[in-house]
Amino acid sequence: MDYVRFQHLFQAEGLRLGQAAVTDMDAPVPSCPGWTVADVVRHSVLMYTDATGQLRSDGRPEGRPQPAGPNGRGDLLDTYTRAHAALVAEMARRDPLDPVEADLPEAAVPEVLESDGPDPGTAGFLARRMAREAAVHRADIEMAVGTPGPLDAQQALDGIDEVLGVLLPAHYDGGARDGASGRTIGVHSNRHHWRLTMRRGGVTMSREPGFADAAVTGEPAELLLYLWGRRPGTVVSRTGDRTVLAAFRRRLAASMV
């Protein structure tokens, strides 16, 4: 997927998020325990504002906006709309290869395995991240207020690649001792394959099918939301050692922070 595609996806998914949120800002969000729709909107405002600051050539703004509290739903939605529009405009000004200085400690800069996406530290990488965040949080809100709409299949496959090739290794705990340690997990969707082995020094990945202690297979959108912890295991096909899969999913959950 190219930079323009990521921009378009972010714009569309962000708009849909705001439209869904209007339905019921107080609704609890089952896929984000303890959060309401307003909390998801507030979180999105902060993400978009940080990303806009990283893209601006004159540096980050000196502080985040403080999205409206519980009694300011209209103000919060207005703040969200402005934050979304500002990031859309800033993305349009940048080239995908433009360097971006992420507001992250060095240890948290993502290590990429074999991801097909843009390189970390570029505007393209940030656009990819924001398109995915908007899509997943849009799904969170739609699941809270009604039936979630479809996710773009190409974006979902790219999202699976990002989860496994970027987010998981970026937060990988090589010292963890659980059911996934030393084991191999296969992830499969629409003739795409990811085979991950949880080693002490880090996670390794192959794109070829082969032996796995456990595997999960599904349609792109459902599989992406499963990997993000948004959908139950019943939406995918799981084979092999369930203990390995449970430990793998816990590691994925830790990589989403």
Question: DSSP secondary structure string, 66-122?
Answer: ----TT-HHHHHHHHHHHHHHHHHHHHHS-TTSB---SS-GGGSPPPSS-SSPPTTB
What are 149's two structure tokens? 């709409």
pTM (2 d.p.):
0.86
pLDDT computed for residue 176 by the predictor: 73
- Residue 217 pLDDT > 50: yes
More reliable by pLDDT, 120 or 217: 217
pLDDT computed for residue 5 by the predictor: 93
- Of the pLDDT bands very low, low, confident and very high (cuts 50, 70, 90), residue 105 is very low
pLDDT computed for residue 201 by the predictor: 79
- Of the pLDDT bands very low, low, confident and very high (cuts 50, 70, 90), residue 1 is confident
| 222, 236 Cβ separation under 8 angstroms | yes
pLDDT computed for residue 62 by the predictor: 47
* 3-149 CATH choice from 3.20.20.70, 3.60.21.10, 1.20.120.450, 2.102.10.10: 1.20.120.450
More reliable by pLDDT, 107 or 20: 20
In CATH, 155-255 is 3.30.70.141: no
Please state, in angstroms and rounded to a whole number, the distance separating the CA atoms of residues 31 and 144: 8
Among the residue ranges 103-107, 131-135, 148-152, 203-207, the one predicted with the least confidence is 103-107
Dihedrals phi, psi of 218, to nearest 5 degrees: -175, 175
Angle at 118 (CA atoms; ends 39, 53), nearest 5 degrees: 45
pLDDT computed for residue 120 by the predictor: 85
Please state, in angstroms and rounded to a whole number, the distance separating the CA atoms of residues 15 and 1: 20
Burial class (CB in 10 A: 0-12, 13-18, 19+), 139: buried
Over residues 71-104, the pLDDT tens digits come to: 467 799 999 999 999 999 999 999 999 998 765 4
Over residues 219-249, the pLDDT tens digits come to: 999 999 999 999 999 999 999 999 999 989 8
Question: Mean pLDDT across the stretch 155-167?
Answer: 92
- Residue 257 pLDDT > 70: no
Domain boundaries, given as residue ranges, for the chain:
3-149, 155-255
More reliable by pLDDT, 147 or 26: 26
